[in-house]
Every structure is written in C-alpha cells, then in structure tokens.
Amino acid sequence: MVEEAPIIRAGSGSGEQGELFPDSSLPDELVGYRGPAACQIAGITYRQLDYWARTGLVSPTIRSAHGSGSQRLYSFKDILVLKVVKRLLDTGVSLQNIRVAVDHLRRRGVQDLARITLFSDGTTVYECTSPEEVVDLLQGGQGVFGIAVSGAMREISGTIHEFPAERADGAEIVPNPDDELSRRRRTRAIG
C-alpha cells in the first residue's frame, strides 16, 4: 500500500470558488499559453511539462493535446500549479506526494491559492494559512521549506503578459490598459 502525504488544512473555505481570475491584471479563464511559454514562465523543461501532462499530474485545463500537431493551452492557474510542483521537486518531495498536494490545489480557486503557503520537510506537504499553524508545524524540530503560493502567483502575473497567449474560443485578446509598470518596462526595454 502506498502512503499518501498528509495535507494539514487551516480552517475550511466556503466551498465556492468565486471568480477564477479576480484581478484584472490576470488573464481570464479562456486565455491560455502554449507549452513552450508555460515552461518558461514556470521554470521547467518541456520534457517535464509533457510528462506531467501525460501522467495527469498537471493537465492543461483550457485545451489538451488531441493527436499530432495539436497544442495544449495552459491557464494562469495551471502555470501557477506547475511552478509550485517545480518548487516542491526542488525541495526533495517525491512526485507521489506532490500528486496529493496538486489534487488539493486543483480544488482551490486562485483567490484561495493566494492566501496559502505550502511547507514541506522533504517528505510531507503541509498547508498553512495562519501564523499559528506555522508555529505548530515547527514545534517538531524538523526543518521545513516554505513555498508561498502568493509569491509564485506574483512572479507569474508579472511575467506572463510578456508571452504570446490565445483564447480557447478564438476571440481576440484585448490587451489590458497601460499601467505605470508596463510603461516603465517598455521604456527600459527600448532604451
């Protein structure tokens, strides 16, 4: 029998996902990114992406590949989960235990994900949403690694707009209005 890594939950949510992409700086749920862009944004190899999609660890929710020549489309949330998987792998967590954590993350909306931090001792994955729980996790004396999902979310949302995207429904993507940060980046890039 295979033992699953426990996920410790702090409190329970309302069960309602709400709006998937509540922040206007994040792409809407029909905007997707092809495999090579998803790899660059998440910091993984295409081989990892392909393996994880084929084994169901992180499958694209916008469009999966159907035969030769078709392109998978990954949503913002998919890319966020890819980045979390990469960070968990980097801390030494097994793919088997990561699968348990990913199943838990899939049930969460982006708003929920922004409020949690995942901790790992290299074997077990813990979820933390309050400072009190962090204290409880550290009392055992075991070293843990923290992955702030909101930090990964900020990283992705800061760079995702630099990559080509497409809508699953074929409609044109309307760029967000210019903000100060976008203008500064463009000015810096132009020189």
Round to whole Å and give the CA distance between 7 and 128.
9
Between 148 and 175, where is the model more confident?
148
Round to whole Å and give the CA distance between 9 and 116.
10
66-102 tens-digit pLDDT: 777 678 899 988 998 899 899 889 888 888 888 888 8
Q: Is the predicted pLDDT of residue 182 greater than 60, yes or no? A: yes
The total of other beta-carbon atoms located within 10 Å of residue 153's CB is: 21
Domains in the chain (CATH in brackets) are 31-107+151-190 (1.10.1660.10)
Name the 3-class secondary structure at 126: strand
Task: Note the pTM of the prediction, 2 decimals.
Answer: 0.61
Per the document, the length of the chain is: 191
Round to whole Å and give the CA distance between 169 and 67.
20
The runs of H, that is alpha helices, within the chain are 35-42, 46-55, 76-90, 95-106, 110-113, 131-138, 149-159, 180-190
